[in-house]
């Protein structure tokens, strides 16, 4: 009898331990996913912050550039750089045949002549002389140099030919290939060429959308929260508003995209693909989040504050505007920032209102077509070229960086400025 | 132009505030008792400045384009043009007046462009005149009222209250906007495609339905067997099911562990770390699923002799499950911690171990809340877009094999609507019909889930 009891107890303790283990492994799994995730993004993305340059001697031959003697600045601006650019690439292998010459040209980026032009504009005295110029390597060579491109594939499955690799290896051996910090990733707009593509346009698009979203969602949400928390009578209608808000917070984001498309674009005829429309759409999405946060922090202000103000003869509006609302602001602001962070990471509604258009200029206002950071991630992720993979990861790193900063900021506001009542 | 006018009106508002307050001080200096604090006199004037400006601006925004269009097109009224042609003419006119017209410029259009421009400038200047005179009149009226020292605080507060109330309508307006934007396109869609074919049809090939010319568009026979949504609905629920298979065990167990077992320290670190998973943008998950998980599963399957699609439902669903873990874990954590301690104490007093208490006492007590959190998770899985767009297939296969690719409602909406859309095309309308069904499904799930959670909260408060 006693033995039976002991067995039973042992069994129960074992079950207890098993259950505990399930719990621990669930937590472990969740954290493991997070770690794999971040590791994967960082390990593929960090190399995008470096860019490979080929150092090529360029002969600034005035004749080939169709320049007269003593050219003016305008002449240099208008000169033909393609020929000398081509010549300098061909000079890497003087014995190249026509096909090989073509391959040589494709070792550098598509706009290599522009880089040569910049060099001359910087120093017009170079005319007629030879100088070693840094040219952006093509994205495939860039990947080869970073070790992301398998060299042992058969040649016809590679985008880099054996010949190009041979010349490239010579350049490497001579120390004429250099890897430097990739500034153009942050200053260039999107491009079809992976080595030139940057996040400047989508970054500005994101900033503009978020600003528009903030300017619409914040005031409306705060006013609505004040009304619902401080003034609204308890009746069916306010209940209905409540249900609406809670429900909107859980409506899939893509439905807001359909709203933007069907109402903002089709009926109000706002310009397509612009951060203005994107911002309005996002503001409708963030509205419930901010309202809920603002209401929670208004609720957290103790009634004694209101009673004290009313006792001093303040009207209800004065009590609210002078005391309750300022005291609730830290909570509201941190909720707003979290809502904006969500909006910043949103992709689907922006795709529907056309912010996926290819934009190779940096938008100067919310009325110019633009992409946004998450949409840029989507666009690049859909591109087949290998060079874009690391760009996607790098863009994700930038986006996650912003999200982390925003969330930290929200935390700081909450902890530093929020009054603890008790 | 509008910006200058707007700035000017804002400046006028500030000036009237200043004069209102000054007036109050003058009244005060005559030893008369003020009816409110001086700044209310200022607010009162400023509000009287803002209201007419706002009304006139909105009237202009609503009516100016239509009236100008009517007047411009009145030249063409008795020449037998169709409505569509008139619209085209008007678009050309506008483009020409902005200098963006690229086609052939006919004298007619040039004349209307000139007319358009002159009408616009007339409208502009009349707007300026009317706004300014209205403001002056209303401010003068208000100034007279405050001079006689009548009440100002009450009207100002009433106005503020009205503003607050209007803001709280934004949520309702958004819902109305959603329904409004979906419903017309959906109705048009069901005029062409019978509801029955949509709900029970098993073939979904929207690419087949492109409009060749406008007469063909309304011929239903052309679209038979094109818009059968069963594969889409099945795919959506299937992927959501896979996601929940990942999310429920992990999310629920970690929620239970955090609430009942974890020490303060573990809780302090593990909880925010898990919640990071909820903060990662979905497009990032999509990239992860498409580039890492999909190929990995494919390789794994090949090594085991299975044929796995690179865009398998398993990859999309699994990654989606990871995304949903934090929703379920934090919600069930909340729900479990709010179960009263007395229930636990009673169970321990009977000699139950911790896990027995959790399984037999706490879990049943918390069940409604947990079900609510799972339903919210399902609604999120159904509405999730980017992961499926990037990682699952775009062709709608009717399959229950997780290793094959399927498509979902959200993915189809994106596929159809990416790029330029022609409204009035059944394909575009199909996307809106899908959006409508998505909205309805998630609406039901949300309402049920929110109600369950709320009921449960009330029970233990």
Cα separation of B35 and B40, whole Å? Answer: 9
Same domain, A359 and A247: yes
Is the pLDDT at B328 greater than 90, yes or no? yes
Cα separation of B120 and B140, whole Å? Answer: 30
pLDDT at A325: 94
Within 8 A by CB and 6+ apart from B215, the residues are: none
Q: Do B438 and A246 touch (CB under 8 A)?
A: no
Is the pLDDT at B217 greater than 70, yes or no? no
Q: Does B96 touch chain A (CB under 8 A)?
A: no
> Which of the two residues, A33 and A161, has the higher pLDDT score?
A33
Is the pLDDT at B215 greater than 60, yes or no? no
Asked whether residue A280 is domain-assigned, the answer is yes
Residue (of A296, A269, A264) closest to A281 by Cα position: A264
Cα atoms found within 13 Å of the Cα of residue A72, Cβ hemisphere only: 2
Is the pLDDT at B98 greater than 80, yes or no? no
For residue B241, what pLDDT band results from cuts at 50, 70 and 90? very high
* Residue A186: how many other CB atoms lie within 10 Å: 14
> DSSP 3-state assignment of B366?
helix
C-alpha dihedral (A309, A313, A316, A319), degrees to nearest 10: -30
Name residues 69-98 of chain A within 8 A of B (Cβ): none
- From B305's Cα to the closest Cα of chain A, the distance in A is 24
Domain of A102, in residue numbers = 51-180
Same domain, A237 and A330: yes
Residue (of A282, A298, A277, A285) closest to A222 by Cα position: A298
Rounded to two decimals, the pTM is 0.87
- Using an 8 Å CB-CB cutoff, list chain A residues near B325: 30, 33
pLDDT at A296: 92
Phi, psi of A178 (to 5 degrees): -135, 145
Q: Do B171 and A399 touch (CB under 8 A)?
A: no
Check residue B142 and give left, alpha or beta (phi > 0: left; psi -120 to 50: alpha): alpha
Q: Which residue of chain A has the CA closest to B249?
A: A26
Q: Does A41 touch chain B (CB under 8 A)?
A: yes
Asked whether residue A401 is domain-assigned, the answer is yes
Q: Which residue of chain B has the CA closest to A411?
A: B272
pLDDT at B436: 93
Cα separation of B445 and A416, whole Å? Answer: 38
Same domain, A165 and A205: no
pLDDT at A212: 95
Q: Do B383 and A261 touch (CB under 8 A)?
A: no
Structure tokens at B356: 């027995």
pLDDT at A142: 84
CB contacts < 8 A, A to B, total 260
- From A242's Cα to the closest Cα of chain B, the distance in A is 9
Q: What does the mean pLDDT of chain B come to?
A: 85
Q: How far is CA A31 from the centre of its chain?
A: 24
Q: Which residue out of B385, B388, B390 would a mutagenesis test of the A interface target, given it has the greatest number of A Cβ atoms within 10 Å? A: B385
Within 8 A by CB and 6+ apart from B64, the residues are: B123, B127
Q: Do A259 and B164 touch (CB under 8 A)?
A: no
Asked whether residue A313 is domain-assigned, the answer is yes
> For helices B426-460 and B170-192, what crossing angle results, to 10°?
140
- From A189's Cα to the closest Cα of chain B, the distance in A is 20
Interval A227-279: pLDDT, tens: 999 998 888 998 889 888 988 988 999 999 999 998 888 888 888 888 999 99
- Using an 8 Å CB-CB cutoff, list chain B residues near A30: 250-251, 254, 274, 277, 322, 325-326, 329
Cα separation of A393 and A381, whole Å? Answer: 9
High-pLDDT (> 90) share of chain B, %: 29
pLDDT at B221: 60
Interval B395-416: pLDDT, tens: 777 777 888 888 889 998 998 8
Instruction: Note every long-range contact of B140-148, with CB atoms under 8 Å and residues 24 or more positions apart, other chains counting.
Output: B141/B48, B142/B16, B142/B20, B142/B44, B142/B45, B142/B48, B143/B19, B143/B20, B143/B23, B143/B45, B145/B44, B146/B20, B146/B23, B146/B24, B146/B41, B146/B44, B146/B45, B147/B23, B147/B27
Q: Does B355 touch chain A (CB under 8 A)?
A: yes
Number of domains chain A is built from: 2
Same domain, A228 and A292: yes
Same domain, A265 and A373: yes
Q: What average pLDDT does the segment B262-274 reach?
A: 90
Residue (of A137, A139, A133) closest to A118 by Cα position: A133
Asked whether residue A193 is domain-assigned, the answer is no
Instruction: Note every long-range contact of B79-88, with CB atoms under 8 Å and residues 24 or more positions apart, other chains counting.
Output: none
Q: What average pLDDT does the segment B276-297 reach?
A: 90
Asked whether residue A321 is domain-assigned, the answer is yes
Cα separation of B290 and A44, whole Å? Answer: 14
Residue (of B285, B292, B283, B287) closest to B310 by Cα position: B292
Measured CA to CA in angstroms, residue A146 lies from A105, A185, B287 at distances of: 21, 16, 21
Contact between residue B278 and residue B326 where contact means Cβ atoms under 8 Å apart: yes
Same domain, A303 and A255: yes
Residue (of A197, A203, A206, A200) closest to A186 by Cα position: A200
Residue (of B413, A22, B78, A292) closest to B421 by Cα position: B413
For residue A295, what pLDDT band results from cuts at 50, 70 and 90? very high
- From A92's Cα to the closest Cα of chain B, the distance in A is 37
Same domain, A173 and A283: no
Cα separation of A15 and B187, whole Å? Answer: 57
Is the pLDDT at B379 greater than 80, yes or no? yes
Cα separation of B73 and B93, whole Å? Answer: 10
Interval B113-161: pLDDT, tens: 888 888 888 888 888 899 899 999 998 888 888 888 778 888 899 999 9
Same domain, A168 and A278: no
For residue A389, what pLDDT band results from cuts at 50, 70 and 90? confident
Q: Which CATH number characterizes residue A221's domain? A: 1.10.3720.10
Nearest to A255 among B172, B253, B438 (CB): B438
The least confident of A115-124, A237-246, A290-299 is A115-124
Q: Does A22 touch chain B (CB under 8 A)?
A: yes
For residue A153, what pLDDT band results from cuts at 50, 70 and 90? confident
The least confident of A13-27, A46-60, B239-253, B429-443 is A46-60
Interval A395-412: pLDDT, tens: 999 999 999 999 999 989
- Using an 8 Å CB-CB cutoff, list chain B residues near A356: 418-419
For residue B220, what pLDDT band results from cuts at 50, 70 and 90? low
Same domain, A63 and A121: yes
- Using an 8 Å CB-CB cutoff, list chain A residues near B294: none
For residue A216, what pLDDT band results from cuts at 50, 70 and 90? very high
**Per residue, what are the HEC states of chain A?**
CHHHHHHHHHHHHHHHHHHHHHHHHHHHHHHHHHHHHHHHHHHHHHHHHEEEEEEEEEECCCCCCCCCCCCCHHHHHHCCCHHHHHHHHHCCCCCCCHHHHHHHHCCECCCHHHHHHHHHHHCHHHCCCEEEEEEEECHHHHHHHCCCCCCCCCHHHCCCCHHHHHHHHHHHHCCCEEEEECCHHHHCCCCCCCCCCCCHHHHHHHHHHHHHHHHHHHHHHHHHHHHHHHHCCCCHHHHHHHHHHHHHCCCCHHHHHHHHHHHHHCCCCCCCCCHHHHHHHHHHHHHHHHHHHHHHHHHHCCHHHHHHHHHCCCCHHHHHHHHHHHHHHHHHHHHHHHHHHHHHCCCHHHHHCCCCCCCCCCCCCCCCCCCCHHHHHHHHHHCCCCHHHHHHHHHHHHHHHHHHHHHHHHHHHHHHHCCCCC
Is the pLDDT at B31 greater than 80, yes or no? no
pLDDT at B461: 62
> For helices A387-417 and A325-344, what crossing angle results, to 10°?
170
> Which of the two residues, A320 and B120, has the higher pLDDT score?
A320
Check residue B351 and give left, alpha or beta (phi > 0: left; psi -120 to 50: alpha): left
Q: Does A377 touch chain B (CB under 8 A)?
A: yes
* Residue B50: how many other CB atoms lie within 10 Å: 18
Interval B33-62: pLDDT, tens: 888 888 888 898 899 888 988 999 888 888
Q: Does A37 touch chain B (CB under 8 A)?
A: yes
Q: What structural domains does chain B harbor?
A: 2-151 (no CATH), 230-460 (1.10.3720.10)
Same domain, A240 and A144: no
Q: Does B247 touch chain A (CB under 8 A)?
A: no
ipTM of the complex: 0.88
- Using an 8 Å CB-CB cutoff, list chain B residues near A24: 257
- From A114's Cα to the closest Cα of chain B, the distance in A is 30
Asked whether residue A21 is domain-assigned, the answer is no
> DSSP 3-state assignment of B204?
strand
Asked whether residue A27 is domain-assigned, the answer is no
Measured CA to CA in angstroms, residue B82 lies from B89, B215, B422 at distances of: 11, 15, 19
Q: Do B171 and A241 touch (CB under 8 A)?
A: yes
Q: What average pLDDT does the segment A109-116 reach?
A: 81
Is the pLDDT at A27 greater than 90, yes or no? yes
Cα separation of A36 and A27, whole Å? Answer: 14
Asked whether residue A163 is domain-assigned, the answer is yes
Last residue of a domain, which of A147, A180, A213?
A180
Contact between residue A141 and residue A161 where contact means Cβ atoms under 8 Å apart: no
Q: Is the dihedral of CA B120, B121, B124, B129 positive or negative?
A: negative
Most confidently modeled range among A189-198, A317-326, B423-432: A317-326
pLDDT at B223: 64
pLDDT at B382: 93
Same domain, A230 and A158: no
- From A154's Cα to the closest Cα of chain B, the distance in A is 21
Cα separation of A222 and A224, whole Å? Answer: 5
Same domain, A215 and A282: yes
Cα separation of A214 and A282, whole Å? Answer: 9
Q: Does A292 touch chain B (CB under 8 A)?
A: no
Is the pLDDT at B94 greater than 90, yes or no? no
Q: Does A367 touch chain B (CB under 8 A)?
A: no
DSSP state of B36: S
pLDDT at B224: 65
């Amino acid at each position: 009898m006693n033995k039976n009891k002991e067995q039973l107890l042992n069994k129960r303790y074992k079950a207890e331990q098993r259950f505990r283990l399930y719990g621990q492994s669930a937590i472990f799994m969740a954290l493991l996913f997070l770690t794999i995730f971040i590791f994967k993004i960082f390990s593929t993305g960090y190399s995008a912050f470096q860019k490979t340059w080929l150092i090529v001697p360029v002969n600034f031959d005035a004749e080939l550039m169709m320049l007269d003697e003593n050219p003016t600045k305008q002449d240099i601006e208008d000169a033909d750089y393609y020929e000398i650019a081509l010549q300098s690439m061909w000079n890497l292998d003087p014995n190249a045949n026509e096909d090989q010459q073509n391959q040589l040209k494709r070792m550098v980026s598509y706009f290599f002549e522009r880089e040569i032009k910049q060099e001359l504009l910087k120093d017009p005295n170079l005319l007629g002389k030879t100088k070693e110029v840094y040219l952006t390597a093509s994205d495939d060579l860039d990947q080869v140099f970073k070790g992301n491109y398998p060299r042992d594939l058969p040649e016809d499955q590679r985008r880099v030919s054996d010949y190009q690799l041979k010349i490239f290896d010579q350049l490497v051996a001579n120390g004429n290939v250099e890897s430097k910090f990739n500034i153009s990733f942050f200053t260039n707009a999107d491009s079809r060429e992976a080595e030139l593509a940057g996040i400047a346009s989508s970054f500005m698009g994101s900033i503009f959308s978020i600003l528009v979203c903030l300017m619409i969602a914040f005031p409306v949400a705060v006013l609505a929260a004040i009304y619902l928390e401080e003034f609204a009578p308890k009746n069916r209608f306010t209940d209905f508003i409540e249900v609406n808000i809670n429900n909107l917070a859980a409506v899939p984001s893509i439905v807001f995209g359909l709203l933007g498309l069907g109402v903002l674009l089709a009926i109000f005829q706002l310009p397509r693909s612009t951060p203005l429309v994107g911002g309005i759409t996002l503001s409708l999405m963030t509205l419930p989040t901010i309202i809920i946060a603002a209401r929670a922090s208004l609720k957290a202000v103790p009634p004694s504050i209101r009673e004290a103000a009313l006792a001093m003869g303040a009207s209800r509006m004065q009590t609210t505007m002078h005391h309750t609302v300022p005291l609730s602001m830290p909570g509201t602001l941190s909720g707003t920032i979290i809502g904006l962070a969500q909006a910043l990471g949103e992709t689907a509604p922006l795709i529907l209102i056309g912010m996926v258009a290819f934009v190779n200029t940096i938008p100067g206002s919310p009325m110019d077509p633009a992409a946004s950071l998450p949409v840029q991630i989507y666009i690049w992720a859909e591109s087949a070229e290998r060079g874009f993979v690391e760009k996607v990861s790098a863009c994700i790193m930038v986006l996650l960086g912003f999200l982390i900063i925003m969330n930290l900021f929200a935390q700081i506001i909450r902890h530093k400025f929020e009054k603890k009542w008790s | 132009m509008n910006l200058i006018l707007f700035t000017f009106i804002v400046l006028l508002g500030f000036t009237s505030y200043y004069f209102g307050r000054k007036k109050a001080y003058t009244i005060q200096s005559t030893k008369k008792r003020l009816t409110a604090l001086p700044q209310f006199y200022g607010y009162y004037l400023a509000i009287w400045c803002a209201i007419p400006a706002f009304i006139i601006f909105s009237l202009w925004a609503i009516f100016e384009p239509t009236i100008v269009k009517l007047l411009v097109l009145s030249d063409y009224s008795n020449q037998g043009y169709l409505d569509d042609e008139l619209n085209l003419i008007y678009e050309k006119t506008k483009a020409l007046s902005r200098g963006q017209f690229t086609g052939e410029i006919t004298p007619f259009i040039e004349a209307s462009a000139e007319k358009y421009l002159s009408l616009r400038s007339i409208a502009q200047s009349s707007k300026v005149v009317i706004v300014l005179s209205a403001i002056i009149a209303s401010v003068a009226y208000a100034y007279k009222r405050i001079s006689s020292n009548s009440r100002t605080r009450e009207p100002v507060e009433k106005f503020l209250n009205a503003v607050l109330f209007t803001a709280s309508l934004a949520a309702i307006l958004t819902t109305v906007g959603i329904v409004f934007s979906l419903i017309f396109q959906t109705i048009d869609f069901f005029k062409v495609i019978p509801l029955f074919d949509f709900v029970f049809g098993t073939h979904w090939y929207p690419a087949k339905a492109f409009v060749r010319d406008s007469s063909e568009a309304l011929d239903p026979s052309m679209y038979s067997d094109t818009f059968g949504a069963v594969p889409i609905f099945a795919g959506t629920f299937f992927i959501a099911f896979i996601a929940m298979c990942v999310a429920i065990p992990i999310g629920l167990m970690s929620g239970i562990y955090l609430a009942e077992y974890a020490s303060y320290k573990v809780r302090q670190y593990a909880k925010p770390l898990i919640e990071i998973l909820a903060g990662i943008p979905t497009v990032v998950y999509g990239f992860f699923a498409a580039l890492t998980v999909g190929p990995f599963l494919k390789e794994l399957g090949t090594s085991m002799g299975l044929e796995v699609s690179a865009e398998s439902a398993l990859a999309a669903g699994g990654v989606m499950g990871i995304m949903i873990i934090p929703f379920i874990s934090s919600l069930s954590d909340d729900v479990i911690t709010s179960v009263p301690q007395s229930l636990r104490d009673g169970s321990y007093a009977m000699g139950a171990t911790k896990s027995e208490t959790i399984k037999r006492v706490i879990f049943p007590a918390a069940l409604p809340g947990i079900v609510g959190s799972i339903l919210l998770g399902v609604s999120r899985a159904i509405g999730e877009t980017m992961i499926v767009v990037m990682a699952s297939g775009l062709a709608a296969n009717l399959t229950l094999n997780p290793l094959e690719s399927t498509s979902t409602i959200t993915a189809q909406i994106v596929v159809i609507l990416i790029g330029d859309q022609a409204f009035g095309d059944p394909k575009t309308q199909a996307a809106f019909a899908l959006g409508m069904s998505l909205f309805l499904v998630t609406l039901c799930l949300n309402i049920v889930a929110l109600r369950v959670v709320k009921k449960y909260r009330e029970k233990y408060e």
